[in-house]
Amino acid sequence: MNITECEGYKKLLKCVEDNEKESPNFHDYREKLQWVIDRVNHYAEKTKLNPCDILNKWEELRTYWYMNYYQDCNQPLLDSDNVKVFETQEQLFESIGKSGFRCPACNGITTSPYVCKAGTIVKGKVCDWKVYGLFGHMGKGVFIFVKGKMKGENIFNPIAWENEVKK
- Average confidence (pLDDT) per 10 residues, the chain, 167 residues: 94 96 89 97 96 97 95 90 93 95 93 94 91 60 93 93 67
Helices (H), the chain: 7-22, 29-47, 51-61, 66-69, 89-96
Contact 126, 120 (CB under 8 A): yes
**pLDDT value for 167:** 44
Give the number of residues written for the chain: 167
**pLDDT value for 139:** 55
Listed residue (128, 122, 120, 115) closest to 156, CA to CA: 115
Terminal alpha carbon distance of the chain: 36
Backbone angles phi, psi at 89, to 5 degrees: -65, -35
Which DSSP letter does residue 4 get?
G
Dihedral Cα 148, 141, 35, 41, nearest 10 deg: -30
**pLDDT value for 1:** 79
**pLDDT value for 106:** 92
Listed residue (65, 61, 76) closest to 138, CA to CA: 76
Helix axes 51-61, 29-47, angle to 10 degrees: 120
**pLDDT value for 126:** 95
